[in-house]
Structure formats: C-alpha cells, structure tokens
Amino acid sequence: MLDDLRGDVDDYVDTMAERAAALGGIAIGTVQAVAEKTTLAPYPTDLHAIEAHLRALVERTAVVGNAVRQNIDAAAEAGDANTADVFTEVSRGLDKWLWILESHLPA
C-alpha cells in the first residue's frame, strides 16, 4: 500500500513541477530546498508501531490536502483554470489516500 502511495505522491510532485515550469517557473526539489520550505512537521523517526506510522501519515496527508485545496482557490481567483485543475487532481488523489490510510486505523 505504501509503495502505491509513494508512487502517487511522486506523480503529484512531477505534475506540479511540470505546471510550474510551463508557467515559466523553476521547480526546485532538492532535499535541502524542500526541508527549508516545508510547513510539515518532521516525520518522527522513533515510531515502531504500524498504527503510529498510519497516524503520522494521516496527519501529514491531511495538512498537504488542505494546502492543496487553498491552492485550488488561489489559482481560480487568479483566473488560472488549468492550474486549479492540476491542484484539483492532486486534491482528489490525496483525499483518496487519506481515506485509505484512515480506514486502516482502529475505530
């Protein structure tokens, strides 16, 4: 399951980087640049239980999903329907993964 999640996230990142380049920007995706700019809490390195990993992934997926939804609105307000559509595609995928991850947590 996590390999599939990682593959989808890689696709989302590639799609957004390609859109940034299409708009004349530069997608800087080095580890250093991402670590400097991220608003996500660092992933805990002391987790051992599967449930703890799932909760950490749920938390971060939700944060990114909310940020992407804000970007949909910002792109739409800027009149860039194509970029809003890219963000909508990513949002749908993240929402799907959030649901899948949460479904593996105990009730």
- The residues near 23 (Cβ < 8 Å, ≥ 6 apart) are 83
Q: Residue 30 in contact with residue 66, Cβ under 8 Å?
A: no
pLDDT above 90 for 87: yes
Burial of 101 (0-12, 13-18, 19+ CB in 10 A): buried
Domain CATH number, residue 25 = 1.20.1260.10
Q: Please write the tens of the pLDDT for every residue from 47-71.
A: 999 999 999 999 999 999 999 999 9
**Residue 38 — left, alpha, or beta (φ > 0 → left; ψ -120 to 50 → alpha)?**
beta
CA distances from 24 to 8, 21, 80, 103 (A): 25, 5, 14, 40
Q: What is the DSSP letter of 24?
A: T
Domain containing 6 equals 2-103
- How many domains does the chain fold into? 1
What percent of the chain stands above pLDDT 70?
A: 100
pLDDT above 90 for 38: yes
pTM of the model: 0.91
